[in-house]
Structure 1
Amino acid sequence: MTRIVAVINLKGGIGKTTTVVNVSAGLALKGARVLLIDIDAQGNLAMALGVRPRRTLYEAIVDQKPLTELRISARPNLDLIAADESLLLAQQAIAGRSDWVRVLEQLVRPVREEYDFIFFDCGGSLTVLNQNALIAATEIIIPTTVEPFSVRGLEKLITQIARVKGSTSVVRAIIPTMVDSRMRQSIDLLAHLNRTYGQLVLPPVRTNVRLSEASAVGKTIYEHDPRSRGALDYAQIVEVLSKMWNFQPTRPISPRPLPNSTAKRPLVTGDGAVQSNTCPNCGHALRRANVAGYRITYCTHCRYRQQELITGAH
């Protein structure tokens, strides 16, 4: 079954596009067929992936072009429908239609069977297209920074999702981003998120300059610095989501060669299982993932994590 995932937060600057790029790239490396659809007029997805599309989602909405004519291959197993400022005009065109809330749902219907996952990279406000994405979505992921306004806004967003979808059951994950363990506020608010939302809260993405660098040069974090904290954190999130969605990897792949790149190729593997091993903090079963030559052992209950270099890894 194709999973249609809306990655949304109504606050800007909290890592939505970074999360879309690196979660989808990790799934593609594991063998998933992934389509990314940028529904933000800023058009950051194309820049973050280092591609220059000639055609955008505007043509599908206004000119009724099929998505098959507009998509481009950004990476192996990873296709993109790009956006730019023309989406602002497209939203005006949608608003006058009787079926305005199901435009995206109708657009993706012909290509659903071609993909395991379709991700919508949503903008930072409840636009017509964001409402379309929520209606079309079978899953919703909410990245959020751990600072007071973001945490407060998260409650309002979930209330709005309930109004649009009729329930909050489609909210599958909350991903804390830009977490700085040296700051007491980060630790306190992360604990608050865990108490409030429980298992919805995934392992945090720590503050890591490599993530912003990767976006600036048009690479995924696995390509830019596969041994960075950002790569390790997002690889762990990919493993947790793969387990939650019961996605069975087929043939994992390596990213396409990058010109003038000497970076070692990432490896995102593992079925998440650890035999006869329990968390030293809480006693729950530990999980395991391998990424970029490191073995990460982690607990989804108390957020315990340990990483070690795999002997002989290249």
Structure 2
Amino acid sequence: MARIVAVINLKGGIGKTTTVVNLSAGLALKGARVLLIDIDAQGNLSMALGVRARRTLYEAIVDHKPLADLRVSARPNLDLVAADESLLLAQQAIAGRADWVRVLEQLVRPLRSEYDFIFFDCGGSLTVLNQNALMAATEVIVPTTVEPFSVRGLEKLIAQIARVKGSTSVVRAIIPTMVDPRMKQSIELLAHLNRTYGQLVMPPVRVNVRLSEASAVGKTIYEHDPRSRGALDYAQIVELLSKAWSFQPQRATPQPATPIRPAAPAARAEPVVTGGGEVQTNVCPNCGHTLQRATVAGYRITYCANCRYRRQELINGS
């Protein structure tokens, strides 16, 4: 049964859609079967993946169409149920239903056996659909920028999740985004996040213009610039989450959903995200924990999940 992952933050502009796209694309490259569901009326997922979808989530909510009929193939192993501004009307329709908080859960139930992961790309406020996503979710991922308002808002979001779900145990990861290691405030707030939330905090995604460029041209970061900092940072998070979820890559590639005018993805000359086991012979020089490894777009990355030590080198040279 698929893990249902809500990617949410009550603040806009902090990289939610970028995180959804590049986490899901990384998992799909590792062999996972992934379904993305856009529940934000801005419909940014379609643009970020370069997909033109004629049918949207509105039809499932209002016209009671099965989600299986609305999904499109965005990439191999990666399907999408798109959204647009019609979702604003759909939320009004949901609010009048007796089961208003379970609508998304009921919609995705028939598809859980077809996928390894189902991601909800949530909007920037606690809307009816976002509450639905939290109710349906088995896991919650929270991207956040390292800014004072964002960090303060994170505390409020965690409290909201506790009220909706009854506990905060569903929070799987907090992903610091747009981190500039040259700024003292970024370093201090990142340290505060690590002290407050411990192992929930993933390695930071550094400021990288390639990430915004990729979304603008409808590509994942692995297609746009697989050797960029953004690709390396997101690939490392994919490896850590894969291990936390005990996901084992599948050898067989499942049949994708019927495509509806998808934009052609850029050709890949080599696997982008591979690896993901323990390096039994190496220990972290900082803390003594066992080092992990990942191979990303021609680079070999060795890192420590405990203290954030990281080393990268070209596979064909030092």
Task: Indicate the SS of the match to 1:80.
Answer: strand
- Output the CA distance in 1 between the equivalents of 2:243 and 2:267: 32
Instruction: Say whether residues 1:267 and 2:237 are aligned partners.
Output: no
Please state how far the C-alpha of 1:251 moved relative to its aligned partner.
2.7
- Output the CA distance in 1 between the equivalents of 2:47 and 2:286: 41
Instruction: Say whether residues 1:22 and 2:22 are aligned partners.
Output: yes
For these two proteins, the number of residue pairs brought into alignment is: 309
1:222–1:266 contact (8 Å) kept in structure 2: no
**What does 1:80-95 correspond to in 2, within 5 Å?**
80-95=80-95
1:226–1:264 contact (8 Å) kept in structure 2: no
Please state how far the C-alpha of 1:266 moved relative to its aligned partner.
4.3
Candidates 280, 292, 295, aligned match of 2:285: 280
Residue 256 (structure 2) aligns with: none
Please state how far the C-alpha of 1:271 moved relative to its aligned partner.
2.5
How has the CA–CA distance of structure 1 residues 128 and 249 changed in structure 2, closer, same or farther, with 3 Å as cutoff? same
1:223–1:265 contact (8 Å) kept in structure 2: no
* CA displacement 1:160-182 (0-9 Å, x = unmatched): 00000000000000000001100
- Output the CA distance in 2 between the equivalents of 1:259 and 1:55: 19
* CA displacement 1:209-264 (0-9 Å, x = unmatched): 000000000000000000000000000000000000000011388xxxx8695774
In structure 2, give the amino acid aligned to 1:63.
Answer: D
Instruction: Say whether residues 1:68 and 2:73 are aligned partners.
Output: no
Please state how far the C-alpha of 1:85 moved relative to its aligned partner.
0.2
Residue 241 (structure 1) aligns with: 241
- Output the CA distance in 2 between the equivalents of 1:54 and 1:262: 25
Identity %: 84
Residue 306 (structure 1) aligns with: 311
TM-score by length of 2: 0.94
Task: Indicate the SS of the match to 1:295.
Answer: strand
**Which runs of no fewer than 5 residues in structure 1 stay unpaired?**
none
**What does 1:197-276 correspond to in 2, within 5 Å?**
197-251=197-251, 264-276=269-281
2:5–2:117 contact (8 Å) kept in structure 1: yes
Task: Indicate the SS of the match to 1:271.
Answer: coil
* CA displacement 1:273-297 (0-9 Å, x = unmatched): 1122111111111111001010111
* CA displacement 1:37-84 (0-9 Å, x = unmatched): 000000000000001000000000000000111000000000000000
Task: Indicate the SS of the match to 2:280.
Answer: strand
In structure 2, give the amino acid aligned to 1:290.
Answer: T
- RMSD (CA atoms): 1.6
